């Protein structure tokens, strides 16, 4: 198989004048683009069953949108993805207030999380791009200086996202990618007809803040049952849109990714298989989108125009000792791998 072609080009500049880079990875007909701002997966192009390619991610080429209403589109989210209740954590008996994001929680690492940072990027020749970030001790309230790397590796139709982090003090870490997929192509309408399968028999019910109530609940007989393929829109009206975490049955704490989700769009025939080493997957159906972001085809993104499949640890795990731990200590390594496998049916 030929090596992946890797190219670097300018994207824009920050208000302070710092250069934002756009990296393009190409392997056959599949192309991925990555921005150094937010270590963002900014584009993913793949063919349908006839060979016609389309951009499958919601995105904007306007810097104002990337810094504003599209700030989480495809970004690397951390230091703690999803929500932490009451904007505080306790690690080894020491209390740490966190920067709040409103509604009584800290979401996606705080108001100045990793999605807003300029990462340093270097080429991984013939494979992809590596992005690195140093997060100081006390950043957004989190203890420990954290050094993070995110590798984007394209091999044929497999896009692998590999995370690594080390810390100087005991802390908590939960990283994910926040891409929104529409397998019919961005700007083509909603994803309610996409067929979704989740490798999960349980989910985590939440309160009005989207904080888990605690125990897992079975999905059987509920709108959360995607154990077999069903349209995203089949029961979405019963819950007002999905923004929930499912508990993956294949999680074993190991290093080999297992299947988490399978997404299919019947008209184009495009499919997306998601494999991960993580214990959970947050499915968000863009419930709050209101047309504030316009995509490359000139179409504003409305409600349900994409679906995020965020592989991660469960929300509020620092307050839930019964959940898989997110604690990272000095001398340990945080490692996480997710594979986005494109195909056609």
**Domains and their CATH numbers in the chain:** 5-344 (2.70.98.10)
CA distance 157 to 270: 12
Comparing CA positions, the residue from 25, 23, 13 lying closest to residue 118 is 13
How many residues comprise the chain? 345
| pLDDT, position 201 | 98
Residue 67: half-sphere exposure toward Cβ, Cα within 13 Å: 10
Q: Is 178 a catalytic residue?
A: yes
Mean pLDDT of 197-209: 97
Write out pLDDT tens, residues 264-292.
999 999 999 999 999 999 999 999 999 99
Write out pLDDT tens, residues 156-202.
999 999 999 999 999 999 999 999 999 999 999 999 999 999 999 99
Give percent above pLDDT 90 in the chain. Answer: 98
Q: Is 62 a catalytic residue?
A: no
Comparing CA positions, the residue from 56, 62, 175 lying closest to residue 113 is 175
Write out pLDDT tens, residues 46-105.
999 999 999 999 999 999 999 999 999 999 999 999 999 999 999 999 999 999 999 999
Comparing CA positions, the residue from 252, 258, 262 lying closest to residue 228 is 262
**pLDDT class of 2 with cuts at 50, 70, 90:** low
| pLDDT, position 3 | 85
| pLDDT, position 152 | 98
Global pTM reads: 0.97
CA distance 68 to 294: 12
From 273, 310, 313, 314, the catalytic residue? 310
From 178, 194, 202, 313, the catalytic residue? 178
CA distance 99 to 121: 27
Under 8 Å between Cβ of 320 and 82: no
Write out pLDDT tens, residues 131-152.
999 999 999 999 999 999 999 9
**pLDDT class of 155 with cuts at 50, 70, 90:** very high
Mean pLDDT of 17-24: 97
Residues 6+ apart with CB under 8 A from 287: 240, 241, 242, 243, 303, 304
Q: What are the angstrom distances between the C-alpha of 311 and each of 105, 188, 270?
A: 20, 25, 20
Comparing CA positions, the residue from 272, 292, 304, 291 lying closest to residue 177 is 272
pLDDT at residue 340 above 70? yes
| pLDDT, position 345 | 95
């Amino acid at each position: 198989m030929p090596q992946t072609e890797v190219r670097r080009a300018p994207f824009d500049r920050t208000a302070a004048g710092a250069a934002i880079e756009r990296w393009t990875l190409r392997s056959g007909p599949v192309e991925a683009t990555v921005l150094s701002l937010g270590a963002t997966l900014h584009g993913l192009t793949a063919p349908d069953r006839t060979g016609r390619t389309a951009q499958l991610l919601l995105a904007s080429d306007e810097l104002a949108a990337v810094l504003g209403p599209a700030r989480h589109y495809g970004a690397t989210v951390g230091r703690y993805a999803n929500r932490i209740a009451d904007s505080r954590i306790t690690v080894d008996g020491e209390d740490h207030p966190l920067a709040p994001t409103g509604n009584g929680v800290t979401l996606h690492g705080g108001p100045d999380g990793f999605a807003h940072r300029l990462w340093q990027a270097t080429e991984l020749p013939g494979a992809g791009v590596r992005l690195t970030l140093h997060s100081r001790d006390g950043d957004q309230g989190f203890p420990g200086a954290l050094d993070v790397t995110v590798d984007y590796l394209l091999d044929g139709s497999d896009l692998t996202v590999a995370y690594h982090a080390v810390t100087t003090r005991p802390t908590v870490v939960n990283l994910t990618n926040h891409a929104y997929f529409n397998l019919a192509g961005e700007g083509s309408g909603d994803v309610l007809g996409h067929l979704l399968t989740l490798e999960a028999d349980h989910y985590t019910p939440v309160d009005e803040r989207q904080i888990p109530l605690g125990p897992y609940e079975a999905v059987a007989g509920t709108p959360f049952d995607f154990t077999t393929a069903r349209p995203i829109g089949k029961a979405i009206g019963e819950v007002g849109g999905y923004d929930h975490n499912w508990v993956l049955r294949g999680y074993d704490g190991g290093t080999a990714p297992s299947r988490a989700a399978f997404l299919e769009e019947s008209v184009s025939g495009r499919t997306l298989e998601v494999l991960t080493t993580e214990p959970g997957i947050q499915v968000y159906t863009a419930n709050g989108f209101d047309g504030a972001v316009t995509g490359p085809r000139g179409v504003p993104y409305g409600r349900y125009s994409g679906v995020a499949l965020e592989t991660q640890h469960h929300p509020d795990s620092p307050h839930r000792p019964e959940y898989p731990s997110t604690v990272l200590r000095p001398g340990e390594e945080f490692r996480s791998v997710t594979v986005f496998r494109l195909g056609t049916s």
